[in-house]
Amino acid sequence: MRNITSFILAATFIGSAANAQLTFSPAPRGEPKTVAAAVIRKAGHPCPSVASAKRQPDGGITAACSNGELYLIATVNQVGPVALRCSAAKRLLKISCHK
C-alpha cells in the first residue's frame, strides 16, 4: 500500500460501483505513537519518526511526523489499518484531522 491515496480513490470508485461504502472504524488498540509509527511504516510513507500522536474521540489517531507531515490512522473495512495523509483526507474524503 505504497500509495494510499490511489488506493482510497480506487476503493471509492469500486465501492460506488458495487453500491458499497468505505467504513472507517477505530485505529488498532495500543499506545497511539507506537500504533501510528507501525501503520505509517507499513504504508511506506516517509516519516523519520512520529513526533506526536493522539487518539481522537472516534478512535482514530492523528499523528505528526518529525518531517512535518500529518497522518490520520484508522481501520477501513476489508482493508485493515491505513495511514492517510491529512491533506489527502481533507481533499478526497472531506475529513479533517484533529490536532
Percent of the chain at pLDDT above 70? Answer: 78
Residue pLDDT, tens place only, 11-49: 544 444 444 577 888 999 999 999 999 999 999 999 999
* Residues 73-97, mean pLDDT to the nearest whole number: 84
CA distance 82 to 63: 12
Higher pLDDT, 54 or 11: 54
Higher pLDDT, 97 or 7: 97
Higher pLDDT, 22 or 73: 73
Which sign, positive or negative, has the C-alpha torsion 88, 91, 97, 99? positive
Query: If you average pLDDT over every residue of the chain, what do you get?
Result: 80
DSSP one-letter string for 37-93: HHHHHHHT---S-EEEEEE-TTS-EEEEETTS-EEEEEEETTTEEEEEEHHHHHHHH
